[in-house]
Amino acid sequence: MLEFIKPGLETSVQDFPGRIGFWSLGIPPSGPMDALSFQLTNVAAGNAPGDPGLEVQFIGPEIRFQADTVVAVGGADMKPKVNGQLIPGWEGVPVSTGDVLTFGFAAQGCRSYVAVAGGVDIPRVMGSCSTFVKANIGGIGGGAAKAGTVLKTSPSVRPLAECSGRRIVDAARPAFGASWEVEVLLGPHDDWLTDADINQFTSFEWKVSSLSDRTGYRIEGPDFEFGHKAHNKLPENGSDPSNIIDFGYSVGSVNFCGQTPIILMVDGPSLGGFVNPFTVLSTSLWKLGQAKPGDHVRFKVVTEEEARALRADFKAAVSEQSVTR
Amino acid sequence: MIFEEPRYLYSGDRYLLLEFGDEMNLELNFKALGLAETVADDPIPGVIETVPSFATLLVHYEPDQTDFHTLKDALHERVASLGSTADITLPSRIVELPCCYDDPWTKAAVDDYRKKIKMIEPNPEATARLNGLRDVRELIKVHSTPQYWVAAVGFWPGLPFMMSLDPRYVLTVPKYNPPRTWTPQGTVGMGGSCTAIYPVNTPGGYQIFGRTPVPIWDGAQKFAPFSKSPVLLKPGDRVKFVPIDAREFIEIENEVAAGTYTYNIVDYDLFAVARYTQFFEQGKKDVGYSAAAAEEQSATTVA
């Protein structure tokens, strides 16, 4: 069992791929913002990659272990400590009853993940333990951890001695920084922009706005012209060039709200009336999940084949191949 | 325009967006819902779920099991087998929702906006005036007469986007700019020609002029219609608003709190597009979209 002495900024239970199958009712998948680090952290703890674990954002919690177990911490390096001693990241670390896990601040990235052997045990809501805090869906009674929250853990499928010392190899660990290159596919509405607009989007170094959270990431940069289609349409599309008749959004859509692109994240809206000229690859979205306000982002258009290759790399990383002892 | 052939667009590496056209036309929504229905009944390998909207269907797929091109071909076959829109028949429940129009709660939200954000014309007077209606009484009549078609659900969990099914009773209003910071739970409002209900208290941009005491979102899933999900209204449902006064609102609110409220839902109905189209064409020939017609016509049912 885990006891929260301090909850941190917004520490929530997430699983992967989250709450799937309810998008047509407006219920988002939720799940980790950085699905790569989340799954690797689970693998380090000896769990299945998608098992329920904790997402730690910006300011970490203080957690007391109420049983002997193995814990792995991955994602942004928030300098995790057990009883005041730094512990290595991306590695199964044995802890004893009464030990306390604390965090510092990350120099790069902003979300850490905590996996305990066996995974966190909370009731599933619509098939998932993931938390959508803004709508009080799933998680710990619909929300994030509070001071005093106690979470049960499921029994580990591996003996604890086997979970301890499992380590993600350096080559499989995601690279962190203050500038990110994020792969996108063109579409669905790239034909609403001019060629100059598309070039501008992919050549400019965008700045992540402070108005960014688990629903969407706003980026700051230059204005767009918008193409013929955006300026010549039926009135029911709306008056702004970026308006279109409401349609279903993808997770990862680059949603042009007037002149502000917002990348829709895992708690984002399922539909709306703004065009999406680009869509971030599902295997690249983790980079935005780690980008901090003020970080810089460049977007790179890839082909379908390149997207497939990146997917294969991602899947290979999230596997036993990445583990050493 | 309704496209001769649908357009199949990339929407990332896990989604395909199918466009049936680029106008607000119920026929396009019937196609999207018809296609969603066939995919739900007889799944296409690799498809996880679909999201129908006004003129489009978003298809979420597992790229390890299919790819864009295979999926596009499979969807195209399904579109062909749907036949003409007139042949589409959709299961469609009729959900009655009591609505207190010109209510004190949405008025308070509008007053708050007028005080803190922008001095706009108050509702429901603004909606009545913009649609050439005599007064608020006439607005209530025009808004509560037709059945509303749930064309899509989303943006926020459980939020229905609905269109009037009766061409004689269509209202049109602009949206707020900037949006409100809060809207009471159960608020009924309009943006463009679309009617929505706010499942919970959220920010919002629609003109607001009524409120239902009946939850359309039940997070605890304690009422029977929520056994499968916390969401009441699904794409393809029809909603009929029943005007109530503030006293009845409180009574129903108390029943809801006590858990004794019974939802009024007709669950066995089908919606035949051919029958509807016939009605629609007749309706368009009748005089007036609202004011005069509202006085002459009584409630009309379709299908």
**pLDDT grade for B201, boundaries at 50, 70 and 90:** very high
Helices (H), chain A: 35-44, 160-163, 195-203, 228-231, 285-290, 304-317
Listed residue (A57, A52, A58, A88) closest to A73, CA to CA: A88
| Average pLDDT value for residue range A162-182 | 97
Listed residue (A77, A96, A30, A286) closest to A180, CA to CA: A286
Contact present, A120 and A13 (Cβ < 8 Å): yes
Distances (CA, A) of B292 to A130, B131, B148: 52, 12, 20
Contact present, A188 and B17 (Cβ < 8 Å): yes
Domain C-terminal end among A174, A193, A212: A174
Is the pLDDT assigned to residue B8 strictly greater than 70?
Answer: yes
Number of residue pairs across A and B with CB atoms under 8 Å?
154
The verdict on A104 and A244 lying in the same domain is no
Residue A73 lies in a domain: yes
The verdict on A183 and A67 lying in the same domain is no
The pLDDT tens digits for B231-247 are: 999 999 999 999 999 99
The answer to which of B101-105, B268-272, B291-295 has the lowest mean pLDDT is: B291-295
Distances (CA, A) of B239 to B120, B172, B245: 29, 18, 19
Contact present, B186 and B198 (Cβ < 8 Å): yes
CB contact under 8 A, B153 and A24: yes
Token pair of B222 as six digits: 């304690």
From chain A residues 276-315, the ones with a CB under 8 A of any chain B CB are 276, 279-283, 304, 307-308, 311, 315
**pLDDT grade for B299, boundaries at 50, 70 and 90:** very low
Q: What is the pLDDT of residue A249?
A: 98
The pLDDT tens digits for B143-180 are: 999 999 999 999 999 999 999 999 899 999 988 888 89
Helices (H), B54-124: 68-82, 104-116
Q: What does the alpha-carbon distance between residue B79 and residue B89 come to, in Å, rounded to a whole number?
A: 14
Contact present, A190 and A152 (Cβ < 8 Å): no
Q: What class is the B2-84 domain?
A: alpha beta
The verdict on A67 and A211 lying in the same domain is no
List residues bridging with B57 in a β-sheet.
Answer: B18, B52
- Best probe of the B interface among A16, A239, A240, A247, by most B CBs < 10 A, is A247
The pLDDT tens digits for B51-92 are: 999 999 999 999 999 999 999 999 999 999 998 888 899 999
Contact present, A222 and A199 (Cβ < 8 Å): no
The verdict on A81 and A190 lying in the same domain is no
Domain C-terminal end among A152, A174, A196: A174
CB contact under 8 A, B229 and A25: yes
The answer to whether the B2-84 and B94-296 domains have the same CATH topology is no
**pLDDT grade for B301, boundaries at 50, 70 and 90:** very low
CB contact under 8 A, A26 and B231: yes
The verdict on A35 and A134 lying in the same domain is yes
Q: Does domain B94-296 sit in CATH 3.40.47.10?
A: no
Residue A243 lies in a domain: yes
Q: What is the pLDDT of residue B281?
A: 83
Q: Where are the domains of chain B?
A: 2-84, 94-296
Q: What is the pLDDT of residue B177?
A: 81
Phi/psi for A83 (5° steps) reads 50, 40
Contact present, A267 and A136 (Cβ < 8 Å): no
Q: What is the pLDDT of residue A215?
A: 96
Average pLDDT for chain B = 92
From chain B residues 114-153, the ones with a CB under 8 A of any chain A CB are 152-153
- The enclosing domain of A270 has a CATH number of 2.40.100.10
Q: What is the pLDDT of residue B114?
A: 95
CA dihedral B93, A246, B199, A30 (to 10 degrees): 110
Residue A323 lies in a domain: no
Q: What is the pLDDT of residue A246?
A: 94
Domain C-terminal end among A174, A206, A221: A174
**pLDDT grade for A148, boundaries at 50, 70 and 90:** very high
What residue numbers bound the domain in which A43 lies?
Answer: 2-174
Is the pLDDT assigned to residue B302 strictly greater than 50?
Answer: no
- Domain tally, chain A: 2
Contact present, B30 and B90 (Cβ < 8 Å): yes
* Residue in B13, B55, B156 closest to A311 by CB: B13
Listed residue (B19, B35, B17) closest to B78, CA to CA: B35
**Element (H or E) spanning A255, and its range?**
strand A253-257
Is the pLDDT assigned to residue A124 strictly greater than 50?
Answer: yes
Distances (CA, A) of B142 to B25, B138, B241, B288: 20, 6, 11, 12
**Who has greater pLDDT, A201 or B288?**
A201
Residue A134 lies in a domain: yes
CB contact under 8 A, A24 and B50: yes
Is the pLDDT assigned to residue B296 strictly greater than 50?
Answer: no
| Average pLDDT value for residue range B203-230 | 94
Is the pLDDT assigned to residue B290 strictly greater than 90?
Answer: no
The answer to whether the Cα torsion of B92, B97, B102, B106 is positive or negative is negative
Token pair of A210 as six digits: 């402070």
Distances (CA, A) of A161 to A73, A100, B128, B151: 17, 20, 72, 55
Residue A227 lies in a domain: yes
Is the pLDDT assigned to residue B287 strictly greater than 60?
Answer: no
The answer to which of A199-208, A232-241, A277-286, B133-142 has the lowest mean pLDDT is: A232-241
Is the pLDDT assigned to residue A293 strictly greater than 90?
Answer: yes
Residue A322 lies in a domain: no
Q: What is the pLDDT of residue B294?
A: 42
Secondary structure in 3-state letters for B182-247? CCCCCEEEEEECEEEECCCCCCECCEEEEECCCCCECCCCCCHHHCCCCECCCCCCEEEEEEECHH
Q: What is the pLDDT of residue B293?
A: 42
Length reported for chain A: 325
* Residue in A233, A237, A271 closest to B155 by CB: A271
The verdict on A45 and A124 lying in the same domain is yes
List residues bridging with A72 in a β-sheet.
Answer: A115
| Average pLDDT value for residue range A37-46 | 98
Q: What is the pLDDT of residue A133?
A: 97
**SS3 category, A143:** strand
The 10 Å Cβ neighbour count of residue B87 is 11
Average pLDDT for chain A = 97
Provide the percentage of residues in chain A whose pLDDT is more than 90: 98
Contact present, A286 and A313 (Cβ < 8 Å): no
The verdict on A157 and A187 lying in the same domain is no
b/e sequence B243-269, b meaning 16+ C-beta within 10 Å: ebeeeebeebbeebeeeebeeeeeeee
- ipTM confidence score: 0.97
The verdict on A132 and A241 lying in the same domain is no
